[in-house]
Structure 1
Amino acid sequence: MPVPRTAPLDASSVQPSPGENFMKIGIPAETRAGETRVAATPETVKKLAAGGAQVLVQRGAGSAARYPDEAYAAAGAALADGAADVYAHADLLLKVRAPTADELPLLRAGQAVVGMLDPFDAAGLAALAATGATGFALEAAPRITRAQSLDVLSSQANIAGYKAVILAADHLGRFMPMLMTAAGTVKAARVVVLGAGVAGLQAIATAKRLGAVVEASDVRPAAKEQVESLGAKFIDVPFETDEEREIAQGAGGYARPMPAAWMARQAALVSERCKQADIVVATALIPGRPAPVLVSEDTVRGMKPGSVIVDLAVERGGNCPLSAPDQIVEHHGVTLIGYTNLPARVATDASALYARNVLDFLKLIVADGSLAIRRDDEIVAACLVCEDRNVLRK
């Protein structure tokens, strides 16, 4: 008999009939403060259900992202009244963020968890491994062509770059575009973007659409072409040695720490540009390391009153030492925005993109209705961070 889609979940509702073989996939509500995203949307739930999975969604899991329970039910999900029901009956759990200390006791050996588990959080991975659950950290996927459709870092960084500029424009006491009015001409705002990765490139594109004059800096020489293709000027720091040039190529699509001499030259040039800017969007991150300091207090002191800095690296220490996590502060007349989770402020689209990333990853680990871990697949192997109570990522 079909499970009533709007009825509370009970154990009998998720038991397969004789001969049936399907996986039970659970989507609990996210519990971290400020986390409004959800790991599956009605769109992806419908596809999972069509593939034979029984999908269990905690009531209210998608509410903050504007996905109502009724939409999940219509897509074929069963609704659970609480997280305990989801964890108790699911074989595979889909999460946005790693389970919290309150969620860990709900996990059991043999379950699998897919989400942004932070592969550089050794203590968090050890705690997850201790539950006996199998963990897949999607951020660890290699930067290869085949992994683009499941690249959660890119999909969420794209949103962060967009939202950073929108927030900066909102806090700037000036227009972004040049305006010619009867009362006189208003000059276009000047924007400096530090780091031309996915977030930085989206910040450049958004600032240009709003009519700003944009400059950008990045350690990788290959970024110059991308920056200029978006209509921005590249802040070019010449290389003085072959070592500098080689390190600047990066590794695996990520930047590498540059030599001190190059960093000093970049800092001087960036400081000069920032002092002329109305908005600075700082996006520079190196995986597994503290964020590099690119905007010093002396630079902030020299910036124009009313200028705005958005520090997307604040969760890793920040590109500016004056930034404060999840706060908007003012120093030396400059507003510093330090929100650590900008994608959660665009929750509907952030969830939609993330859920599609997750769906594409599941195609690699689910076969014939059950978990099938293909350890010879380089994407799966990279994302598999714990199994059989062992942490696999060093």
Structure 2
Amino acid sequence: MTLDRHALGFGAGERAIFASDPWASRGRLYPETGSPTRSDFQRDRDRIVHTTAFRRLKHKTQVFIAADGDHYRTRLTHTIEVAQIARALARALRLDEDLAEGVALVHDFGHTPFGHTGEDALHEMLEPYGGFDHNAQSLRIVTKLERRYAEFDGLNLTWESLEGLVKHNGPLIDAEGQGIRGPVPQPILDYCALHDLELATFASLEAQVAAIADDIAYNTHDIDDGLRSGYLTFDMLEDIPFLAGLMREVGDRYPGLEPSRFTHEIMRRQITAMVEDVITVAQDHLKTLRPQCAADIRNAARVTVTFSDSMSMTDRQIKNMLMTRIYRHPDVMRVRANAARILTDLYQAYMADPKQMQKHYWIDQIAGMSEPVKARHVGDYLAGMTDTYAVTVHKRLFDQTPELR
């Protein structure tokens, strides 16, 4: 019996002319024979899901650490919500859904334990050696640190998936080669020397929808988790006209609705409104740009997938509320300080005696490494930890471990 590739369904309807074409990918750093049953972007997505890094996300903080309760989002559940929204946007705009989903699933691989607190702590400790950036760390994971395949380190993802990972928030350098948001992290520059990701251009539409799906997801679920925690109240939401309108709509339609259902009805309307706003704006931009291929999207003068002016204002209002009411709440700041201390203690302990990393596969080599290289490897080890593992190891190495609740 012979496999009839032409009779297979690849799960993608008719793509727009400006969508990324998996059959015309720019390829992988290490050439591979294509699959007869999956496109290259499908294979990327599947490789991402089967990684250790993906599994670790279930025990990494989004906003509230695991000790606060089982119902709060983790980095994994956040990632799944982002992927769902990205795929919905990609389908509406007739893009490659697998590429959009893959970028969404991999975008947070480089996050440390304890959320942005961990990233800030690691950046401070590694600042003499180039600092720490979670996006650059994601690239290191998928190009070097995951060790699963016999013929290469990392996942050997396609150019398009790696481009989406690195540039989903926009170009990294300007026409003169200067960093747009500060110096480009060295791991990104190092990889681009081998496999140029064209840092001065925009990413594909698939990567752009993954990026804005991230905003939509956390703008919504951080409100949900904030209400659950008590740091947010419905009265606080009234200060934002967009949310106040949603609450009036739900209250008028379902008077006396219990709080948990009331919250969900608001959140689902918020996601719908934001998604529909993005689709409308993207369609308008595409009519103006009239791209004839994916390259036209990359070389456009502005981002194609974005919010309208009014929704951008709402986006800023929500982010400001979340920052003031949750992220900088005194209780959250206290926990953040304790989490930072845990990572700082572990970093200092491992730099003083790398053998304490136990099963870490660089231990046999680390003795002869220079200080900057050793620091980067210790940073890799710490960044890969889950919240729970970091606490467990700290308790093993130190007499007292700070409380994280």
State the TM-score, normalized to the length of structure 1: 0.24
The structure with the largest helix share of the pair is 2
In terms of fraction of residues, the more strand-rich structure is: 1
Q: Greater RCO between the two (CA within 8 Å, min separation 6)?
A: 2
